[in-house]
Amino acid sequence: MKGIYLDHNATTRPHPAVVEEMRACLEEGWGNPSSSHAQGQEARRILDRARVRVAALISADPDEILFTSGGTESDNQALRCGAVLRPEGAILASAIEHSAVLDTCKALARQGRELRILPVDAEGILDPAAFAGALEDPVALVSVMLANNDLGTIQPVREIALQAKARGAITHTDAVQAAGKLAVNVRALGVDLLSLSAHKLYGPKGVGALFVRRRNPRVLLTPIIDGGGHERGMRSGTLNVPGIVGFGKAAAICRQETAAEGARLTGLRDRLWAALSRELDDIHVNGSIEHRLPGNLNVSFAYVEGESLLMGINDVAVSSGSACTSATLEPSYVLKALGTGDELAHSSIRFGLGRFNTAEEVDYVAAKIAGVVKRLREISPLYEMAHEGGRPKQA
């Protein structure tokens, strides 16, 4: 068995139905949706249908969906505009936010805004006491992701939003990893802004969306891209109609299948963990077991270098961390935020199961990894010392 893909947190293969609908759009809906002629109005019609579909995925109104180039732009738009809307007070974000959020927050801090990075506990959940304490001083904007891209841990965003809004703060959540994998309802969450990305839910790359609340309260964003007044003046630029159409189709499929697919992926994830646990000692799941995305499993293999393990399973696509920070050799800042030591952090692998994976593939991957880990440990003096009592287990 060759070429098994278990890195669905990084990206997903577009669903065949998504590809087909995008192809039809390229052939028949190629007009500019801002034009008044027949071709333009046909493009507008299919664009409006896609907007309805994306809105329905998160229980929003269509006119609350702002299309962007992806999750990074959506996060930037939310945070930069939220900071303008609330010019006084601190910006709060958890220590395990995606780099698109943390780097934007740091850029705002360099411009003079107060930034507070909030700790998480050993399971990757925002510390409630730390959050409550941070709200004692004036707060302008709170950004806490719904599900983490490395760990798969799910944050109590509804409770966080309720507390933050009681203090008058704008609330944002990065739902890029959660949408399509969990039932996401912006009304139930109570957030003002929510980021999405199509390529994380079997849609195309290069397209995303930002939910912008229009009532209770209405959030009025200032654009970060000017010229033309597209998207009700909030994001100028000719829209990527085929990409948006693919996004809409992917959202419609996920809306129908999220519950059943979530149960299936949970079963595959648990099957993978059970098989690894039977074959190997000194392995550890990073992040909460209970509050976790269905298809995510982040495992540390003590006394094994993660990069060496990846080289040994080169027919299996997995990751040693976020695809957006893979250029650095530093251990995952997400794992470090949990209190994980450098050695154990360097031994961690992220498995991201998805729609096209099977039980047969899971069994193959578990057996392949167990074999490689055992071979690497046979030549590891640290593993030998630990099991002879010469060294405490890695932490």
Active site residues: 324
Distance CA 331, CA 349 (A): 12
Alpha-carbon 72 to chain mean position: 11
Alpha-carbon 123 to chain mean position: 17
Residue pair 108/79 in contact (Cβ under 8 Å)? The answer is yes
Residue pair 11/205 in contact (Cβ under 8 Å)? The answer is yes
Helical residues (DSSP H) of 118-239, grouped into ranges? 128-134, 157-166, 186-189
Distance CA 230, CA 308 (A): 48
Q: What's the sign of the alpha-carbon dihedral 385, 320, 274, 362? A: negative
Reported for 36-40, long-range contacts at CB under 8 A and 24+ positions apart, including other chains, are: none
Structure-token pair, residue 147: 């599900």
DSSP letter at 324 equals: G
Amino acid identity for residue 358 in this structure? T
Rounded-to-5 percentages of helix, strand, coil across the chain: 45, 15, 40
End-to-end Cα spacing for the chain: 34
Neighbours of 122 (CB within 10 A): 12
Closest CA to 238 of 49, 22, 67, 46: 67
Q: Is 52 helix (H, G, I), strand (E, B) or coil?
A: helix
284 bridge partner residues: 300
What value, to the nearest 5°, has the Cα angle with vertex 36 and ends 31 and 41? Answer: 50
- Ordered DSSP codes for 121-150: -TTS-B-HHHHHHHTTS-EEEEE--SB-TT
The H or E element that residue 317 is part of is strand 316-317
